[in-house]
Amino acid sequence: MIGQRVSRRLVLQVAAFGGLGLALAACGATPAPTTAAATPVAAPTDTPAPIQPTATATAATAAPGVAGSTKSKITYGTFAEASQLEGMTKITNRFAEVNPQFEVEIQEKPWGQYWEALEVQVAGGAPPDVSWITPNYAYHFFKTGHLVDVTDLIQKDQINVSDYVGEIMEAKFEGRYYGMPYGNGVMVWIYNKDLFDEAGVSYPTQDWGWDEFRDAAKKLTKEENGQKVRWGLDMGGWWENYAAIPLGNGICEFTGGVFTDKGGYFDTSKPIKAAVNDPKFVQAMTWIEENICREGITPKSGEVTLAPGIETAFDGKVVGIAPSGSWEIAAHRKVQFNWDLCLVPKCPKTGQRRTTTYALPHAILKGCKNLDGAWAFIKWHAQQEAQEMLAVSGVKDPMLKTALDKLSGTPEHFKDMLMEHYLNYNWNMSTMVFDGQPEAEAEISSKLDYIWTCERKYADLAPELEQSVNAILEQKTG
């Protein structure tokens, strides 16, 4: 899939958890927001240069009664991709219109550069006022004491966390909240209807299980002059996070991810152990190995050459079926061919569907210069108007349940599919937030390469994989 995905995993293990000594000046206790504009504080002389802004959102008119006065600036850090940035800017502009006492400077960086810059900014005591944050990074900054606790503000403003998908647990640690809900993303499946038609294969139905997807992928795979020119299925570079885990859930009764037998969030007060040698997980991974890897229905590294401007084999029209993050649909829409969404395959034993979902909270890092503005910003983005704008923007999916009904856009079944994935079946949140997770995940990813290249059998690999992963976890957690 998108080449950036592999770099994300590498950056996660190197940049954010590379042992930078974070020592920053805290904002202090979290006060309730006031109507007065916060006075910007000069950055220390050794603070690194700020991220260059991509866009600035400002109010159309000056705040009543303060004509000619300086607005209170809010800096907003994001790793939004090009397909997301336009919609994100529109939503931020709307915040500035509704709250004319503020202006917002959007500071955009690509994924890897974003986290590297954020680490340096935090170390220098001058992070953006509001930051896009992923659960792994949220936990990292929480453990080092650099996230602002907004629990009291949530209670003061009577925000009901149960109104949100997942109840904003992505920013909740040890019973306290360290962020507000912003956008969500779920792994869905997409398929090329033109290739299905050419191969004479019926489109996926709501009753399809993993066997049906495998059989269709075999028929879609095509050779010319002894070389593959089309593949039925592209699991891409996110096998480990987005495919192997839910596939494990789908093939057997195994109910979690690669670290525990429960999935989702972990009780970090207890030792985390790898479950990669669990008999049921081995069964699931063996099914992947035998039915997908060794069948040659998914391309291996280097087998696909894409035209300039095309980022995925699916968008290059050489793959029939692929998993995709819902946040990537906006990019897929720019490629003109006949494609659609389909439901995640059913488990043949339980009849359930499972997938992974990853939320993106807004966080405030200690050292911010405009705490009042930051709270006003993340609170507004979690409310109805902003969440409805998010639903039609393609930036991310809304987290507010009442805004999900506003999901719109092509393909025809986009809204129905996402609603089904979020609300109407047993979806699995396999976000992993605990000490040693990045290093353990990197070890699993590197070892699984032997499976995707068909060099080893998973049943033979599992015992040594379990041993090496648990050794990493014991070292990290003591």
For the chain, the domain total comes to 2
Residue 210 placed within a domain? yes
How far is residue 181's CA from residue 370's CA, in Å, rounded to a whole number? 19
* Paired tokens of 282: 């081995």
How far is residue 223's CA from residue 439's CA, in Å, rounded to a whole number? 39
Question: What does the angle CA 23 – CA 139 – CA 186 come to, to the nearest 5 degrees?
Answer: 140
pTM of the predicted model as reported, rounded to 2 decimal places: 0.78
Instruction: With residue 442 as reference, give the H or E element that holds it.
Output: helix 437-452
Question: What does the angle CA 210 – CA 326 – CA 171 come to, to the nearest 5 degrees?
Answer: 110
DSSP state letter for 35:
S
pLDDT tens for each residue of 439-471: 887 888 888 888 877 889 999 999 999 999 999
Percent of the chain exceeding pLDDT 90 equals 40
Q: What is the CATH number of the domain that holds 326?
A: 3.40.190.10
Whether residue 198 sits in one domain with residue 122: no
Q: Are 13 and 439 in contact (CB under 8 A)?
A: yes
Question: What does the angle CA 77 – CA 81 – CA 85 come to, to the nearest 5 degrees?
Answer: 70
Whether residue 168 sits in one domain with residue 88: yes
Whether residue 238 sits in one domain with residue 116: no
Whether residue 343 sits in one domain with residue 392: no
244, 187, 235, 233: which is closest to 444 by C-alpha? 244
pLDDT tens for each residue of 32-64: 333 223 323 233 333 333 333 344 454 333 333
Higher pLDDT, 126 or 44: 126
Confidence band for 268, pLDDT divided at 50, 70 and 90: low
Residue 372 placed within a domain? yes
Residue 452 placed within a domain? yes
Q: Are 371 and 152 in contact (CB under 8 A)?
A: no
DSSP state letter for 236:
G
Whether residue 191 sits in one domain with residue 180: no
Whether residue 89 sits in one domain with residue 176: yes
> In terms of residue numbers, what domain contains 205?
187-356+430-477
Whether residue 380 sits in one domain with residue 473: no
Residue 10 placed within a domain? no
SS3 content of the chain, % helix, strand, coil (to 5): 40, 15, 45
Q: What is the pLDDT of residue 363?
A: 97
Q: What are phi and psi of 231, to 5 degrees?
A: -125, 145
In a 3-state reduction of DSSP, which class is residue 49? coil
CA distances 441 to 53, 263, 472, 473, Å, are 33, 14, 10, 10
Residue 235 placed within a domain? yes
Whether residue 132 sits in one domain with residue 169: yes
The residues near 10 (Cβ < 8 Å, ≥ 6 apart) are 112, 442
